[in-house]
Structure 1
Amino acid sequence: MLEYILRLLILLPIIGAMAWGSLWLWKRVQMGVPLTGPRPDQPIQMVGVLPLGPGSKLAVVEFAGQRILVAVSRNGITRLADDSQGDFHVD
C-alpha cells in the first residue's frame, strides 16, 4: 500500500504538469503566436495577431515590404486592407 501511495505522489504532479503544459501550448498555437522568433530569411512575417473570439482573429502580415491586414476565421482568410492604398498605417 505504501508503494502505491508513493507512486501516486510522484506521478500525479508529473501528469498535472503535462496537462497544464499541453493546454498552454494549445492556447498559444490557437492564438497564432509563433513558437519561435522571426526568421529574417522568410519572405512573410507575422507582425501581430488580435484574437476576436473562438476561431476568429485579425492579423497583420508583412510581405514584400507591405503590411496587410487580414481576417482569419474557420471559413477562410479575407484581406481587409493594406498600407499601399493608404487604408491604414502603423505609428
Structure 2
Amino acid sequence: MILEYFGRLLLILPLIGGMAWGSLWLWKKLQIGLPMTAQSARAVRVVDAVSLGGNGRLLVVEFGQDTLLLGASRSGISILASTDQGTHDA
C-alpha cells in the first residue's frame, strides 16, 4: 500500500511541476503590455538608463529623429535636454 502511494507520488509530482512551469512560461509570453514584435518597430526606444538611487533615473530616449534626456522620479518625468535633429533644414 505504501509502495503504491510513493509510485503515484513519483508520477504526479513531475506532472504538477511541469504544469506550474508551463503556466509561468505562458504567462510571461502572453503578458499584456509587452510588445510581441521587435523593439526596432516601436516609435520610442530607450537607449540607456542610469539609476540615481531608489528614487530617480536618468533616461536617454530616442523618439523619431529626436534624442531626449529625461529625469524620472516618483514626482514625475522631466525633459532635461533634447536634440531636435528632425526640425533642421538641410
Give the TM-score normalised by the residue count of structure 2: 0.50
Greater CA radius of gyration, 1 or 2? Answer: 2
